[in-house]
Amino acid sequence: MKLKGDQQTARAINRRLILNLLRRQGAISRAEIASVTGLSPAAVTFVVSELLEENILVEGEASLGAPGRRPIPININYAGRLVAGLKLKVGGIDCVLTDLATTPLVTKQVVVPDLSPQSTVEACASAVEELVSDRRAPTGAQLSGIGIAVPGVIDNGVCRLSHRFNWADVPIAAMLAERVRVPVWADDDTNAFALAQQLFGLGRHHRTVGALAIGAGISCAVVIDGSVHHGANGAAGKMGHSTYDPNGPPCECGRRGCLQTFFSEPALVRRWKEARRLAGEVTRHDMLNAAKTGDRAAIDLLQEAGEGIGRYLGGFCNIIDPEVIVGGGEAVTFGDYLFGPMRDALKRYAMWNPPPITPDWADDSWARGAAALATQRLFDFESSPGEIAGTGLQQSMVK
């Protein structure tokens, strides 16, 4: 049946409504879906049947013991499709194969010999092949899409700029889609991390979320009303490039004294190493252990970083007013030595009640974030009207 434009839109909106309800609430019956969404029972039955047919939903067992007609719970068929997440880092790729709930099934680290887009795409393509042919990968489920997370300004699948990779205008999603013949989506790594938090992580029950990443750089991605905010050019959330001290050290972006030149994880470790005049390789774990034994240089630096980042977060909260800020990146290792002063600063600099800052300790959140770029299409029929659900899946599609 060929649907008219507005019918098609209504259908897409109803599908999106039901899928997102199930994502947040877990398995519920058709009657409950109708009562929560306000859709008519007939509309719910229609959409649910369609999604069952497409294998996107599954019916569970009717609960035993309930009197009368037992409602059959409906849930998303998370195991029915697979997605791959590829988080690009300088020197390598963190790869993960997940189900639609971004639950990791197979993980893998891949080394990339150089930073060129060609080598990266080659490495991504073979990594995907290895992921799906791994013996831990379930048989029978199809690979629905691939998400690539790259630190940089990403717009519509094109990496406009990545200082760390020295890329400009690299159509990374299209390049990989050509090699692998499944839909590929690309986004900034912190945006991907934010998306994973919003879909299935600590931000799941919130509409407005900040995702603060303190690693090789500092970013704060923002989810507004359930969608990651990209801005006009895909350059939103680059908090780490706000000026902290105009006379500070040069930054990768070409400016001086950006916040991240002082407080990124490598900057903190380097500054501590210099302060203590240490030789050889020094890691954040050494710095944390020193802080634990009362090392003033380590404690003071982390205090200064928490304060400094907290001040910018205060400004961020005054503009965005998030319900929660999720913290990620290597620097979460520093725990309350960093987040304690950050929370104090936030109290001082946010005009309204500051949101909680909740660190996410899971190592795999970043690669899962990349996978979430692909899974989100299932839940987001407005921006991508239903391709992933229908037969259009097989075609090479870039967003």
Of 167-175, 240-248, 328-336, 366-374, which segment contacts Zn ion by CB under 5 A? 240-248
Identify which range of 11-19, 152-160, 236-244, 370-378 contacts Zn ion by CB under 5 A: 236-244
Spatial contact of 60 and 30, defined as CB atoms under 8 Å apart: no
Residue of 100, 251, 345, 357 interacting with Zn ion (CB under 5 A):
251
Select the span of 1-9, 239-247, 322-330, 375-383 touching Zn ion (CB under 5 A): 239-247
CB of 244 to Zn ion, least distance (A): 10
Least Å from the CB of residue 151 to Zn ion: 12
Which stretch of DSSP H or E encloses residue 210? strand 209-214
CB of 168 to Zn ion, least distance (A): 16
Of 143 and 251, the one with the shorter C-beta distance to Zn ion is 251
- Other residues' Cβ atoms within 10 Å of the Cβ of residue 116: 14
Instruction: From 94-102, 150-158, 245-253, 262-270, give the range in contact with Zn ion by CB under 5 A.
Output: 245-253
Q: How far is the CB of 251 from Zn ion (least distance, A)?
A: 3
Residue 214: which of 328, 359, 366, 365 has the closest Cα?
328
Tokens in use for 188?
Answer: 């900034």
Q: How far is CA 310 from CA 13, 16, 209, 271, 316, in A?
A: 39, 36, 16, 19, 9
Both tokens of 159, joined, read 């990496």
Name the segment binding Zn ion (CB under 5 A); options: 24-32, 129-137, 189-197, 235-243.
Answer: 235-243
| Residue whose CB is less far from Zn ion, 164 or 255 | 255
Q: Are 151 and 145 in contact (CB under 8 A)?
A: no
Contact 123, 148 (CB under 8 A): no
Compare residues 68 and 254 and give the one whose CB is closer to Zn ion: 254
Smaller CB separation from Zn ion, 11 or 241: 241
Residue 266 CB, shortest distance to Zn ion, in Å, is 14
**Given 11, 15, 89, 241, the residue binding Zn ion (CB under 5 A):** 241
Answer positive or negative: Cα dihedral of 262, 266, 270, 271.
Answer: positive
Residues 145, 182 contacting (CB under 8 angstroms):
yes
Q: Which residues of 153-188 are buried (b: 16+ CB within 10 A; e: fewer)?
A: bbbebbbbbbbbbebeebbbbbbbbeebebbbbbbb
First to last CA, the chain: 27
CB of 341 to Zn ion, least distance (A): 23
Total residues at interface with Zn ion (CB under 5 A): 5
Integer Rg of the chain from CA: 23
Shortest distance, position 258 Cβ to Zn ion, whole Å: 3
CB of 152 to Zn ion, least distance (A): 13
| Residues 337-366 contacting Zn ion, CB under 5 A | none
User: From edge to edge, which strands make up the β-sheet containing 28-29?
Assistant: 28-29, 73-76, 57-59
Q: Where are the alpha helices (DSSP H) in 26-116?
A: 30-37, 41-53
Stretch that binds Zn ion, among 247-255, 298-306, 349-357, 366-374 (CB under 5 A): 247-255
- Beta carbon of residue 305, minimum distance to Zn ion (angstroms, whole number): 16
Shortest separation between residue 384's beta carbon and Zn ion, angstroms: 32
* Beta carbon nearer to Zn ion, 241 or 273: 241
Answer whether 352's CB lies under 8 Å from 239's CB: no
Q: Which is nearer to Zn ion, 160 or 399 (CB)?
A: 160
Choose between 150 and 180: whose C-beta lies nearer to Zn ion.
150
Asked if 33 and 76 count as a contact pair (C-beta separation under 8 A), the reply is: no
| Cβ 311 to Zn ion shortest distance, Å | 17
Residue 330's nearest CA partner among 265, 240, 263 is 265
Which span sits near Zn ion by CB under 5 A: 40-48, 52-60, 97-105, 238-246?
A: 238-246
- For position 218 contacting Zn ion by CB under 5 A, the verdict is no
Q: Which is nearer to Zn ion, 144 or 261 (CB)?
A: 261
Q: Which of residues 252-311 bind Zn ion (CB under 5 A)?
A: 253, 255, 258
Nearest to 202 by CA among 335, 316, 368, 88: 368
Return d(Cα 90, Cα 329) in angstroms, integer: 15
Contact residues for Zn ion (CB under 5 A)?
241, 251, 253, 255, 258
